[in-house]
Amino acid sequence: MMKLFKPIFLCAILTGFLFNAVTGEPKKWKQGQGWGWVWGEEDEVGALNEMTSEMILKAVGLVKKGQVHDLGITYDRTSFKWPGHSPGEIMTFRSPEGVQRQKDLDFTLPENGNASLTTWHSCALFINDNVATQIDGLGHAVTGEDNHWYNGFTEAEWGGNFGLRKAGAETIPPVIARGVLIDVATYKGLEALPGKYVITVEDLQGALDMQGTELRFGDVVLVRTGVLRYWGETGANHEKLAAHDSAGMQLPAVKWLVEEHGAIMVGSDTSSLEMMQPPPPGSDSFMPVHNYLLIEQGVHIAEFHYLEDLAAEKAYEFLYIGVTNKIKGATAGFAMRPLAIY
């Protein structure tokens, strides 16, 4: 009897282990608590440490139709932005006319073998690292008299004139995960939520029920307010966008996503994710959601993600791929074009 029992018992253990690996058993996350500074004192990655090859394979398995949607928005110098960020300028640095007129590069001269007058275009960018489609890095939000961010990194020790030296955007790994759209605008029967609308837990659950969608540990959760239906070509209609952009979540809804469901990244189609003004009663910050997610939990924030196509096609779960610019010291992976594939 024991000879039979031991192989069966071992098989059960192995089966349980494989099941946990494939379904994404949490490494550090605890229900009702989330994460915190649990990855070691030198960690710069946060909740994205939870991604595993098994979870990625499962997310890839969501692709059935081969449909690809670009979640990025087109940005230029006229585009709408959050008021706390600077506008961007895209400036021509080299043009055919300039190269030929200035004659400051010997290898471009006809007498030096360039009889075909070959030239090129290149641009210099002066652009804020928190504009257009982006992922906020864990060093973006700062708080306290010591000016600290995620994992206790402080301005005095790790700041600088040439960007952050801890938890810069270059530390954001490629995000490959199950993406879930929560279409709150459609659930509320609106083209877009009104400005300063506070998205509640009841709104999130109601939209999920309407969609027939369930949240799972390790999801990238993207909440649709509908504001980007007014982006147009480059987001030049500031008045229309501003009328809706301030809708968003506050702490109860965000904590529900992170602490109860294990979302490893939370985002939306707005410039700031949260409803900031006026701050909720008892708050000691104008952006408590940013402080909670980025500083306290180590959860990155996805902003200005274009969700209109997904909503129109009722594509509520998909493979999410978000890859940021590896610009060392930047506070966000900016001007992105993440993909939703299903």
More confident residue, 83 or 122: 122
Q: What is the Cα–Cα distance from 242 to 81, expressed in whole angstroms?
A: 9
Nearest to 341 by CA among 122, 34, 67: 67
Question: Which phi and psi angles does 178 have, rounded to 5°?
Answer: -70, 125
Give residue 5's pLDDT band: very low, low, confident or very high (50, 70, 90): very low
Indicate whether 255 and 156 sit together in one domain: yes
**Would residue 10 count as lying in a domain?**
no
Q: What are phi and psi of 58, to 5 degrees?
A: -65, -40
Distance of CA 167 to the CA centre of its chain: 15
What are the backbone dihedrals phi and psi of residue 205, each rounded to the nearest 5 degrees, phi first?
Answer: -70, -40
From 4-18, 90-104, 149-163, the region with the lowest mean pLDDT: 4-18
236 pLDDT exceeds 60?
A: yes
Place 324 in a pLDDT band, splitting at 50, 70 and 90: very high
In a shared domain, residues 314 and 327: yes
Which of 20-29, 70-79, 121-130 shows the lowest mean pLDDT across its residues? 20-29
Can you tell me the distance from the alpha carbon of 310 to that of 325, in angstroms, rounded to the nearest whole number? 24
Supply the pLDDT for residue 3.
Answer: 37
Which residue, 73, 100, 126, sits at the end of a domain? 126
At 194 the pLDDT is 98
**pLDDT over 50 (residue 14):** no
Place of tokens 């390790």: 218
Q: In terms of domains, do 260 and 113 share one? A: no
Bigger pLDDT: 282 or 104? 104
pTM of the model: 0.90
Give pLDDT tens digits for 207-235.
Answer: 999 999 999 999 999 999 999 999 999 99
Check whether residue 160 and residue 258 sit in a common domain: yes
Q: Do 153 and 170 belong together in one domain?
A: yes
Comparing 19 with 47, the larger pLDDT belongs to 47
> What is the phi-psi region of residue 49: left when phi exceeds 0, alpha when psi lies from -120 to 50, beta otherwise?
alpha
Closest CA to 170 of 15, 20, 325, 13: 325
Q: What is the spatial distance between Cα 238 and Cα 82, in angstroms, rounded to a whole number?
A: 10
Classify residue 7: in a domain, yes or no. no
Residue 24's pLDDT is 56
> Is residue 246 included in any domain, yes or no?
yes
Amino acid identity of residue 138, one-letter, is L
| Contact yes or no for 292/251 (Cβ under 8 A) | yes
- Min mean pLDDT across 33-47, 80-94, 207-221 is at 80-94
Question: Is a pLDDT exceeding 60 seen at residue 12?
Answer: no
Domain annotation covers residue 287: yes
In a domain, 102, yes or no: yes
Mean pLDDT over 299-308 rounds to 98
Q: Is residue 5 part of a domain?
A: no
- Of the pLDDT bands very low, low, confident and very high (cuts 50, 70, 90), residue 282 is confident
Q: What does the block give as tokens for 98?
A: 């300039």
Rounded to the nearest 10 degrees, the angle between the axes of helix 53-60 and helix 2-23 is 70
Q: 65 and 113 in one domain?
A: no
Contacts of 56 (CB under 8 A, 6+ apart): 176, 177
Band of the pLDDT at 87, cuts 50, 70, 90?
A: confident
Q: What CATH number should be reported for the domain holding residue 59?
A: 3.50.30.50
Three-state secondary structure call for residue 284: coil
Based on the fold, state whether residues 289 and 144 are members of the same structural domain: yes
pLDDT band at 20 (very low <50, low <70, confident <90, very high): very low
Residues 241 and 284 occupy one common structural domain: yes
In a domain, 17, yes or no: no
Residue 153 has pLDDT above 80, yes or no: yes
Please report whether residue 9 resides in a domain. no
pLDDT attached to residue 95: 97
Residue 96 domain boundaries: 89-126
Strands annotated E in 184-325:
198-199, 220-224, 248-249, 265-268, 300-303, 317-322
Helix (H, G, I), strand (E, B) or coil at 328: coil
Task: Count structural domains, the chain.
Answer: 2
- Predicted local distance difference test score (pLDDT) of residue 8: 38
Same structural domain, 111 and 259: no
Shared domain for 263 and 115, answered yes or no, is no
Same domain for 201 and 282, yes or no, is yes
Statement to judge: residues 30 and 98 lie in one domain: no
- pLDDT, residue 180, reads 98
Provide the mean pLDDT of the chain.
92
